[in-house]
Chains A and B, each alone.
Chain A
Amino acid sequence: MKRLPWSLIVGGTITAILIFAAIVSQFWTPVDPTAINIGNRLKGPGEGGILGSDHFGRDELSMIMAGAWVSLGIAFSAIAVGGLIGTVLGVVAASERGPFEALIMRVNDVLFAFPPVLSAILLAAILGGGPVTTIVAIALFMIPVFARVTRSAALQIWARDYILAARMSGKSSARITLEHVIPNIAAQIIVQIAIQTGLGILTEAGLSFLGLGIAPPTPSWGRMLADAQTYLTIAPHLVFVPGIAICTAVLGLNLLGDGLRDLTDPRRRQST
């Protein structure tokens, strides 16, 4: 029995707790996360709920749980869209080569020039802020990220002897891509999904912080921090709680990605 990398265990545990909290929040939270209770305003941790309460007396723990659902939902949606398009572009570029590949890489350069905050500002001018703007802005940036990773991974597979054998046996390049290339780069794609989900959560928090993300009263970690800014000196716990939540979530996903990489890439395992 191989020993699992510690990063996989720690990262996997944090991610599992995060997903569990997000799902549970849809059925149960200690208090309704949108319930306003002015009598319970700006209470510290312990006095008004386990993690305290905000300027409307809303329960921080409940908001963090509900915020996990929003963060993960937006990050996963963005990856489902951007990751899929990027992966398809990457494997097609690797199998077709030539002018088509050059065109795809050029499109990637264009997309890469727009950090999510910029595309979100552009999109918000048309659509206003909200989940769609956030998801599209993050997804647009994920396309070149996934396209680059899958293209270079797929190119390495295409250089292998067994691809030559598959070609000799008369398989089309589409079939080779589906039967040989994608299964062999799947591990690298999964690693990217874990790491990019972390980045997606960071970006979502940033966009909500700017007020371009999901609209109130739906709780969101980024907006909790934006609200906390007003009460920095009176209620510093409002800065710590959502910040630590974001940090832990991203850290967990990054560790999970690292652990998966160590597990699936034998070269890395030897070197570490």
Chain B
Amino acid sequence: MRHIAQSLVGLIITLLVVSFVIFLVMEAVPGDPAEIILGMSAAPDTLAALRSQLGLDQPFLVRYSNWLIGLLQGDLGDSYTYSTSVSQLIGERLEVTLPLTGLAALLSVLISVPLGVLAAARPNGLVDMFASLFSQIGIAVPNFWVGLLLILGVALTFGWFPAGGFPGWDAGFWSALNALILPSIALAIPQAAVLTRVTRAAVIEVTNEDFVRTARAKGATPSHALWRHIVPNAMIPIVTMLGMQISVLIAGAVLVENVFTLPGMGTLAYQALAQRDLIVIQNVVLFFAAIVMGINFLVDALYTVLDPRLRVRR
């Protein structure tokens, strides 16, 4: 428990530093938000009025702390270009990005864990050869290229899934889910490749431990030893990798959403950049960074659940 409390404090401090860095960077962006909203031809007094309405005339630290207070209250301010609040905007976009990345993470685990375990059960066997081929190629393919290939080879050829766009969850659960299938496969394949490798290595390492020999000596069948003794003990590196890969998954979502024209968080950040909607960029980037750090914290906390030995040691 002490370890978890410590890393929670660390998480909060890191989050504060990250938010400060982002705020500092946005401060360095050339151009005046009031001018971005009203356009170049706006009268100087109108600009000044808007600036004071947005609180832009206040000192740096006051604006920074106002932003933090707003964050805690769930009020992220209003978008410069969309006539809606940033929190509502993020909420809408999360309806796409959250299921997309969640589905991709799930798919990658469903592919990689069985493949990695079976590969490790018989090193240099047929499955192992296939697994190492899959992971070598999978790590090297860009997810947005997999997306393009899926559009070309599946969506446009067979028409089972849409080639892009998102009908929204109001259009029905299945048609919305259908629009996310190909993007999540594109996102999952490079992920699964990395995880397959980690799973195989972790399982092989645990297989060589003494307690596995003991279990086998006591009469456990190979498959019983594998699934009941080896795999649970190999989960730590797998979960660690999955946690570390969250940042890759989020970065990948920006690209894959772009390929499939999905209205998710990545597209939001990208469009906000094109429209110089700084307040959206600032909040979306912080949101992404917070998710990466939050997941890493959870993974760290999960260790103590997965491996009782760590509870004593730390």
Q: Which A residues contact B (CB, under 8 angstroms)?
A: 106, 109-110, 112-118, 121-126, 198, 202, 205-206, 209-210, 225, 228-229, 232-233, 236, 239, 243, 246-248, 250-251, 254-255, 271
Say if the beta carbon of B10 comes within 8 Å of chain A.
yes
Do residues A229 and B145 form an inter-chain contact, with CB atoms below 8 A? no
Do residues B289 and A251 form an inter-chain contact, with CB atoms below 8 A? no
Say if the beta carbon of B276 comes within 8 Å of chain A.
yes
Say if the beta carbon of B54 comes within 8 Å of chain A.
no
Q: Which B residues contact A (CB, under 8 angstroms)?
A: 10, 13-14, 17-18, 21-22, 25-26, 28-30, 136-137, 139-142, 144-145, 148-149, 151-152, 156, 204, 247-248, 250-251, 254-255, 258-259, 266, 269-270, 273, 276, 278, 281, 285, 288-290, 292-293, 296
Known: A114-B289, A122-B285. A233 touches B140 (CB 8 A): no
| A-chain residues with CB within 8 Å of residue B29 when the two chains form the complex | 125-126
**Cα A125 to Cα B30 with chains together (Å):** 8
**Cα A109 to Cα B137 with chains together (Å):** 29
- Which single member of A117, A121, A239, A247 contacts B148 (CB below 8 Å)? A239
Do residues B140 and A250 form an inter-chain contact, with CB atoms below 8 A? yes
| A-chain residues with CB within 8 Å of residue B296 when the two chains form the complex | 109, 112
Do residues B148 and A229 form an inter-chain contact, with CB atoms below 8 A? yes
Do residues B10 and A106 form an inter-chain contact, with CB atoms below 8 A? yes
Could you tell me the distance in whole angstroms from the C-beta of A157 to the nearest C-beta in chain B? 22
| B-chain residues with CB within 8 Å of residue A250 when the two chains form the complex | 139-141
Task: Using CB atoms, name the residue of chain A closest to B141.
Answer: A247
Could you tell me the distance in whole angstroms from the C-beta of B256 to the nearest C-beta in chain A? 10
Do residues A115 and B247 form an inter-chain contact, with CB atoms below 8 A? yes
- Which single member of A113, A125, A255 contacts B136 (CB below 8 Å)? A255
| B-chain residues with CB within 8 Å of residue A205 when the two chains form the complex | 142
- Which single member of B14, B140, B255 contacts A113 (CB below 8 Å)? B14
Pick 20 A–B contacts, CB within 8 A, sort by A: A112-B292, A112-B296, A118-B254, A121-B254, A121-B273, A121-B281, A122-B285, A125-B25, A125-B278, A206-B255, A209-B142, A209-B255, A210-B258, A210-B270, A225-B148, A232-B152, A233-B152, A239-B152, A251-B140, A254-B136
| B-chain residues with CB within 8 Å of residue A248 when the two chains form the complex | 140
Kindly list the 3 A-B residue pairs having the minimum CB-CB distance in the complex, ordered from nearest.
A115-B251, A250-B140, A251-B140
Do residues B152 and A109 form an inter-chain contact, with CB atoms below 8 A? no
Query: Chain B: interface secondary structure?
Result: helix
Do residues B148 and A122 form an inter-chain contact, with CB atoms below 8 A? no
| A-chain residues with CB within 8 Å of residue B18 when the two chains form the complex | 110, 113
| A-chain residues with CB within 8 Å of residue B293 when the two chains form the complex | 109, 113
| B-chain residues with CB within 8 Å of residue A202 when the two chains form the complex | 140, 142
Known: A121-B270, A122-B22, A246-B142. A232 touches B136 (CB 8 A): no
**Cα A228 to Cα B269 with chains together (Å):** 23
| B-chain residues with CB within 8 Å of residue A112 when the two chains form the complex | 247, 292, 296
**Cα A253 to Cα B251 with chains together (Å):** 22
| B-chain residues with CB within 8 Å of residue A254 when the two chains form the complex | 136, 139-140
| B-chain residues with CB within 8 Å of residue A243 when the two chains form the complex | 141-142, 145, 148-149
Could you tell me the distance in whole angstroms from the C-beta of A231 to the nearest C-beta in chain B? 11
| B-chain residues with CB within 8 Å of residue A206 when the two chains form the complex | 142, 144, 251, 255
**Cα A248 to Cα B140 with chains together (Å):** 7
Do residues A229 and B142 form an inter-chain contact, with CB atoms below 8 A? no
Do residues A232 and B148 form an inter-chain contact, with CB atoms below 8 A? yes
**Cα A115 to Cα B246 with chains together (Å):** 10
Could you tell me the distance in whole angstroms from the C-beta of A196 to the nearest C-beta in chain B? 13
Could you tell me the distance in whole angstroms from the C-beta of A145 to the nearest C-beta in chain B? 10
Do residues A251 and B148 form an inter-chain contact, with CB atoms below 8 A? no
| B-chain residues with CB within 8 Å of residue A233 when the two chains form the complex | 152, 156
Task: Using CB atoms, name the residue of chain A closest to B259.
Answer: A229
Find the residue from A121, A205, A243 having the highest chain B CB count within 10 A. A121
| A-chain residues with CB within 8 Å of residue B254 when the two chains form the complex | 117-118, 121, 210
Do residues B152 and A110 form an inter-chain contact, with CB atoms below 8 A? no
Known: A125-B26, A239-B148. A118 touches B289 (CB 8 A): yes
**Cα A131 to Cα B254 with chains together (Å):** 20
Could you tell me the distance in whole angstroms from the C-beta of B15 to the nearest C-beta in chain A? 9
Known: A109-B14, A126-B28, A228-B148. A121 touches B285 (CB 8 A): yes
Given contacts A251-B136, A254-B136, 8 further A-B pairs with CB under 8 A are A112-B292, A117-B255, A118-B289, A206-B142, A228-B148, A232-B152, A243-B148, A247-B142
Do residues B269 and A121 form an inter-chain contact, with CB atoms below 8 A? yes
Find the residue from B13, B21, B29, B148 having the highest chain A CB count within 10 A. B148
**Cα A247 to Cα B22 with chains together (Å):** 33
**Cα A126 to Cα B276 with chains together (Å):** 10
Task: Using CB atoms, name the residue of chain B closest to A253.
Answer: B140
Known: A206-B144, A251-B136. A232 touches B151 (CB 8 A): yes
Task: Using CB atoms, name the residue of chain A closest to B27.
Answer: A126
| B-chain residues with CB within 8 Å of residue A225 when the two chains form the complex | 142, 144-145, 148
Do residues B145 and A122 form an inter-chain contact, with CB atoms below 8 A? no
**Cα A209 to Cα B13 with chains together (Å):** 35
**Cα A124 to Cα B272 with chains together (Å):** 11
Do residues B258 and A209 form an inter-chain contact, with CB atoms below 8 A? yes
| A-chain residues with CB within 8 Å of residue B22 when the two chains form the complex | 122
**Cα A236 to Cα B153 with chains together (Å):** 10
